[in-house]
Structure 1
Amino acid sequence: MIQTKDLQFQYNSQQKFQFPDMHCEQGSHWLVLGESGCGKTTLLHLLGGLRKPTSGEIMVQNQDISKLSGEALDRFRGQNIGVIFQQSHLIKALTVEDNLLTAQYLAGAKQDKNKIKNILSKLNLETKLQAKPQNLSLGEQQRVAIARALINDPVLILADEPTSSLDDKNCREVVKLLLEQSQNFNATLLIVTHDGRLKELFNNQILLEATKVAG
């Protein structure tokens, strides 16, 4: 479950974003739409605990993550939230397996190679276990990033513009994959995008508008 109330974020003294209140039940799937500059990525970073709000509440599994700090926030995020960025941000010096082992380690979870093999198999990446990121296609890198987001059984999956650079066929395949995997883990899925092609695939939608107001 994710819930926000009176959420605001201020970049500087001249402007800030004000976001609508949200209530997303556990296991539900959401699309956050809006044009560039309306604060979609900022909202995702707030929900993922990557930025601290200027004011307001962000409840994830009945925990107000805006009140957590330092190691506690890092640990909570690692154990409960999976984030898929526009770029994969994989560690180039490590193999696919070691990237996922690192994600388990940073979350304080057991480093489980069998679990890694199982999730890579579900993503048709079982032959890429020892590959380095630079030797993967962009699509394979994206799927590894999805595996990393799911490896610790998150209750919340956040995806930032996962289809913006994809053609129609790959767009639908990536969204199908995210929906299937979130259902497998009963995780709440929230995708932020300006990609109008996704509208027909999600019943739950939030439209963000440019809500910058003077500070």
Structure 2
Amino acid sequence: MEHVLTMVVRVEKNARPAQTDALETAARAVLAILADERSVGEGEWAEAMTDWQDHQIRKIVKRARGAEWRRTENVPGITMIGTSAGADSPDEVNAAQVRVFPPTTVDEVPLELAKLQVSGTDFEDSADLPAVAAGVPVLWVNPELEMSSGKAMAQCGHAAQLAWWALPDEARKEWVSTDFALAVRRADRAGWARLLGSGLPVVQDAGFTEIAPGSRTVIADHPRLR
């Protein structure tokens, strides 16, 4: 039976997250639920997480604001807050906020989430992105694909998950200790070609929405995988 992991991004009427902040926060949210003690062993989410990971790791991103967002906080999950461009610390007004929920079957998505809209998740960066610090994992986005922000958030979540699966336990613990520090950047064409030949984890989309089946969307460049 098909399972889906739902993420909800907060999009208030007069406060929209920056594109890169939203992508990075979505990826970190996926890592947070993978690492959560409730997702493993005898944890309350463990069975659902296992069922989902045993099949296609399908993700869907929806948006919420105001009372809709507050209702999502009543559904068990994890909220991840990003850092708005140029800020030194999280700003809950302007920073991306993404809430991730344990997977369910498509027919069992909680009502508070099922009725939310997928459209309207198109964001942009209003400032130049800072240089990526040495040693920080980077999720490189395919420069030849056009995706909505919601679609790109899901793809970055996939890439982060592939990197998590590929890492040894020690490296996973190190990543947890940094609050899942990572960066998302759009590759240039030459860089993308080199990355494709590097053997790093690459997301190959199933083609449910927006892009053709088999499209390679994001490559996870984690220092411990090189």
Q: TM-score over 0.5 for the alignment? A: no
Q: Counting strand residues as a fraction of each chain, which structure ranks higher? A: 1
Q: Which has the higher contact order (CA 8 A, sep 6+)?
A: 1
